[in-house]
Structure 1
Amino acid sequence: MKIPLAFVICTEPGRLEGQSLMLAESIRKFCGNLKDTPIYSFHPRVGEPISKQTQEAFTSLDVIHQQIPINTEFHEYYLANKPLVCAYAEQNIDAEILVFLDSDKCFFAEPTEFLLPAGCNVRMRPEYGQGIGSTGSQDSQEWYWQTLYEVLGVKRELFVNTPIGNKKIRAYWNSGLIAVRRSAGIFTAWKQNFERVMHLDITPPQGIYFVEQSVLSVTLCSLSEDISHFSPAYSYALPLHNRLSPSARLKAWDDIVSIHYFNLFFYKDWHEQIKRLKNFNLNSDKYQWLCEGVIRHKMPRTSVMHRYMLTVRKIEQKLRVFNLNIQVSNWMEKIGNF
């Protein structure tokens, strides 16, 4: 019997376990009429299973968890899990609408925008900043997008505006929250195009990271679909709050439907980081629930030095363009024992 909606997540051993659990808890607590929506969790690579404690917690939350070797060919590239799991779900879960969620998300209100209206087959959010995106013909990263367009047969040009800086870039959407109508076959098309691009060894200027996200974006451009956008309250980029354009910035916790917290709770100074959000009212029982969840799932485990090390490493990568080979980050990594 077809169900109206199903959530799809990936859960593998380690930090994703706590994230997926807190995500599932938030769905069951805050999602209103959608709180009992089936949640399917996939562990798509061969290896050690998730902990018995996590499995038991999933059972208590009515989360259907399966370890299935879906990602075998691209085992070393964990982001390949997304298109491969999504396509598997599209082919095996009998739901009208599938919503894929990254585990580093949390809900605080009923996500009514997941119920796609007639004629709408996909709804997403633009990528927060330009990243590997292109502003057009004069952009240094344009060659990558033109290569994808040619390989995947894109005939139309679409642009989006980024929440950070309101910059107009070639259509580039964030793959951490995707709602699709299963009958449209979008996830299967994404998988097929992802595999094709990987076999051709086409990668962004910075390397393999985000191949799956850019391929999803170009796949959508190649299809005759009108892509709908979630409102700013969905997958709200909490750590990026101070950088968001005024039109994309929320003012209070109770305005949020869901957050995207990235690595925020990975670091021991997470609470201080949240307090630095400008003009944002934290006076909410929902925020207190989140704080308790972060502690309960033992998410903060890493020194702030690790974040500084990653920042230095990004700078080093940019300096290599000028033939400056500086390796301070390696020293920081060794000292910090990361």
Structure 2
Amino acid sequence: MASAEGAEKRERLIFASIVLPNRSSETNALLLGESIRVFAGSLSQAPIWFFSPESGEQLSAAVEDRLRAFDVSVIPFEIDPEALRFPLAGHVHAAALAERMASDRADLLAWLDANTVVVHEPRDLLLQDDVSLGFRPVHHTLVGSRYDEPIDDFWSLIYRYCGVPEGRVFPMTTHVDGAVIRPYFNAGLLVVRPERRLLRAWRDAFLRVYREPPLRELYRRDERYKVFVHQAVLSGVILSTLETDEIQELPPRYNYPLHLHEEDVTGRRPTGLEELATFRHEGFYEDPKWRKKMPAKEPLKRWIAARLSR
């Protein structure tokens, strides 16, 4: 496997993600990696690190070869198999490892879920010097806590476990359903300054609390709490670690959820994907009619189709 070791030049920004040994994750990683190289403009030659858990299964050799062809480093990491089975735990571990590795190599680390596609130069990822986190809110409310309602048991636990100061809680508007909620950050796009150790604090807090009996009881009541506890803990850690003036909400052109395009009620719904910097998806390519349904012009559709046909 390719390695990120030995890098000497200090980078403005490093892209990082996780790739799992299955068809959908590998397909996503290929689309993300090549879209950065083709569409990211001044950031198109930034290092790309994809972390892969050593879980007994291996990435496809053909996929590794294709990733290497556009200079993506595939980095294996160890994780307890039981932890890996918990929803999104692997992402938390990989993000923390990426941050540690980037700490003396880059000013900024952009952690992206692999189901991201870059469409235009994501220049807003280059944060101002006084900003330690660039983020997008969650797509829609789901287990989020509405700002004008009493805090529920789940978020009360998260705030207590993470030590969130009351004065740090502020209103945040979700990406597509336009609800005003307590801060709930999307874990699929995070731009951090590695020296602030935010992603490592996320991992440490997650490992400390995700098996706590009160949370496990909530998982039994509603499976969504189990799926999204990693993101809730992230939100708690951000609020307890950073001052409000250290965080910056990225424009809605970033992290746009293609799979929720028809549900977007905000008045900012893009006519086409070309209006965006990056978008997220849930395996649109599994639908045989994706080209007909995708809100994009033919050149972008052709580019995507050509990658999917390889």
TM range (shorter): 0.7 to 0.9
Task: Check if 1:215 corresponds to 2:233.
Answer: yes
Higher Rg: 1
Cα distance, 1:73 vs structure 2: 5.1
| 1:151 alignment partner in structure 2 | 161
| 2:203 alignment partner in structure 1 | 191
CA contact (8 A) 2:26 2:63 kept: yes
In structure 1, distance between residues paired with 2:212 and 2:273? 44
In structure 2, distance between residues paired with 1:97 and 1:5? 5
CA contact (8 A) 1:45 1:71 kept: no
In structure 1, distance between residues paired with 2:272 and 2:158? 40
CA contact (8 A) 2:95 2:199 kept: yes
| 2:279 alignment partner in structure 1 | 259
CA contact (8 A) 1:136 1:142 kept: no
Letter in structure 2 aligned against 1:286: L
For residues 179-227 of structure 1, the C-alpha deviation after alignment (integer angstroms, 9 at most, x for no partner) is: 1111111101111111111232425552311111111011111123332
CA contact (8 A) 1:84 1:191 kept: yes
Letter in structure 1 aligned against 2:207: E
Letter in structure 2 aligned against 1:234: Y
The equivalences for 1:152-301 within 5 A come to 152-155=162-165, 156-201=168-213, 202-203=215-216, 206-207=222-223, 208-226=226-244, 227-274=247-294, 282-296=296-310
Cα distance, 1:157 vs structure 2: 1.6
| Alignment counterpart, residue 8 of structure 1, candidates 4, 8, 16 | 16
Cα distance, 1:136 vs structure 2: 4.3
The change in CA–CA distance for 1:46 and 1:149 in structure 2 (over 3 A counts) is: same
CA contact (8 A) 1:71 1:84 kept: no
The change in CA–CA distance for 1:253 and 1:126 in structure 2 (over 3 A counts) is: same
For residues 49-88 of structure 1, the C-alpha deviation after alignment (integer angstroms, 9 at most, x for no partner) is: 1011011111111111022213545121240112211111
Q: Percent identity?
A: 27
| 1:307 alignment partner in structure 2 | none
Could you say which structure has the greater relative contact order, defined with CA pairs below 8 angstroms and 6 or more residues apart? 2
SS in 1 for 2:84: coil
In structure 2, distance between residues paired with 1:110 and 1:138? 39
CA contact (8 A) 2:17 2:50 kept: yes
For residues 235-290 of structure 1, the C-alpha deviation after alignment (integer angstroms, 9 at most, x for no partner) is: 1111211221344311233212111112322333433432xxxxx5x335223212
The CA RMSD over aligned residues, in Å, is 1.9
In structure 1, distance between residues paired with 2:301 and 2:250? 22
The change in CA–CA distance for 1:164 and 1:253 in structure 2 (over 3 A counts) is: closer
Q: TM-score w.r.t. structure 2 length?
A: 0.87
The change in CA–CA distance for 1:69 and 1:83 in structure 2 (over 3 A counts) is: same
Unaligned ranges ≥5, structure 1: 275-279, 297-338
CA contact (8 A) 1:106 1:259 kept: yes
The change in CA–CA distance for 1:165 and 1:19 in structure 2 (over 3 A counts) is: closer
SS in 2 for 1:75: helix
Query: How many matched pairs?
Result: 289
